[in-house]
Amino acid sequence: MITCISFIGKSSAFGTTNNLINHKVGFVFQKLSFSVMSRIKEAKKSAAYLAVDKHVKSGDLVGIGSGSTVIFAVERLAARVKKEKLDIKCVPTSFQARDLVIQNKLTLTNLEVCPELDVCIDGADEVDENLDLIKGGGGCLLQEKIVASCSKKLVIVADYTKDSKRLGDQYKKGIPIEVAPMAYVPIKNRIEKIYGGNAELRMAVAKAGPVVTDNGNFILDWREYKQDSDWGKINTELVLIPGVVETGLFVKMAEVAYFGMEDGSVKNRVPPQ
């Protein structure tokens, strides 16, 4: 009985030491990842603020993209409306963007009333050296592409982790492809057969089953594709597959991308001549 008690005692003492080390290591990692996260957040903010200041003027009709970086762009727009009495109207690209416009008390409009926009400010999941983009990591690619195509210029705001030489260098979650729900299996099979890789149905996190987009569709995330591809050609071919609604490949659409850097600076990239 005594042995038993002492065994439990030692074991729990050992356990306590281990727990303490784990706790400390966990704390250091937590602190590190917190500082990386806050650096990324600051980078998003610097890029978004600069892009808004450079590209939006009074009287503009502005497309509002989706995602976490665009939150800062809308914040800056709202501050300028208040301070400079900037007169702008906004067309959102998602439920989230519409909500952002409303919450920030900006003037909301749509493409029926304003089919031609001056500028669209949007985020990206990855930007390559040609300024081709992967978008749709948050599931908003269809309305984003429509609004961008109705804008005189598409201005991308991003942090340094999105800056790549080739699509797929950094962003490993795949190229999002929005599809009609009834067609997701044949489309998946076709993409994998023609181009290789895997096109996986995106599953929801706080819901059983797949992600359903703002437009009632599913998303296939196409991974392990050939990186040195002709994205313009592949995008054109993909949208011709019956049931494909849109792809997250934004080829030759962006006029400029702003990247917030780790050191607090912002660098920009324009397409090669």
CA angle 199, 205, 206 (to 5 degrees): 150
Between CA 257 and CA 123 the distance in angstroms is 9
Which residue among 126, 144, 178, 246 is the active-site one?
A: 144
Residue 3 beta carbon to ligand R5P: minimum distance, rounded to whole angstroms: 58
237 is catalytic: no
Q: In whole angstroms, how far apart are CA 196 and each of 2, 71, 99, 190, 229?
A: 65, 36, 38, 9, 12
Asked if residue 164 lies in contact with residue 132, where contact means CB atoms within 8 angstroms, the answer is no
Closer to ligand R5P by Cβ: residue 57 or 256:
256
> In the numeric block, which tokens belong to residue 7?
């065994």
Closer to ligand R5P by Cβ: residue 118 or 144:
144
SS3 111: coil
- Asked if residue 139 binds ligand R5P (CB under 6 A), the reply is yes
- Asked if residue 125 binds ligand R5P (CB under 6 A), the reply is yes
Closer to ligand R5P by Cβ: residue 8 or 75:
75
Asked if residue 111 lies in contact with residue 62, where contact means CB atoms within 8 angstroms, the answer is no
Closest CA to 124 of 78, 173, 88: 173
Contact range with ligand R5P by CB under 6 A, out of 76-84, 118-126, 212-220, 223-231: 118-126
**209 C-beta neighbours (distance < 10 Å), count:** 9
Contact range with ligand R5P by CB under 6 A, out of 3-11, 116-124, 210-218, 251-259: 116-124
Q: Which residue is nearest to ligand R5P (CB)?
A: 67
Between CA 47 and CA 66 the distance in angstroms is 15
- Asked if residue 138 binds ligand R5P (CB under 6 A), the reply is yes
- Asked if residue 77 binds ligand R5P (CB under 6 A), the reply is no
Contacts of 184 (CB under 8 A, 6+ apart): 201, 218, 220, 243
Residue 122 beta carbon to ligand R5P: minimum distance, rounded to whole angstroms: 5
- Asked if residue 123 binds ligand R5P (CB under 6 A), the reply is yes
Closer to ligand R5P by Cβ: residue 69 or 104:
69
Q: Using CB under 6 A, which of 46, 56, 64, 67 touches ligand R5P?
A: 67
Residue 48 beta carbon to ligand R5P: minimum distance, rounded to whole angstroms: 9
- Asked if residue 214 binds ligand R5P (CB under 6 A), the reply is no
Closer to ligand R5P by Cβ: residue 45 or 80:
45
Q: In whole angstroms, how far apart are CA 18 and each of 6, 11, 32, 109, 160?
A: 18, 10, 21, 58, 37
- Asked if residue 122 binds ligand R5P (CB under 6 A), the reply is yes
Residues serving a catalytic function are: 144
Which residue ranges make up the site for ligand R5P (CB under 6 A)? Answer: 65-69, 122-125, 135-141, 144
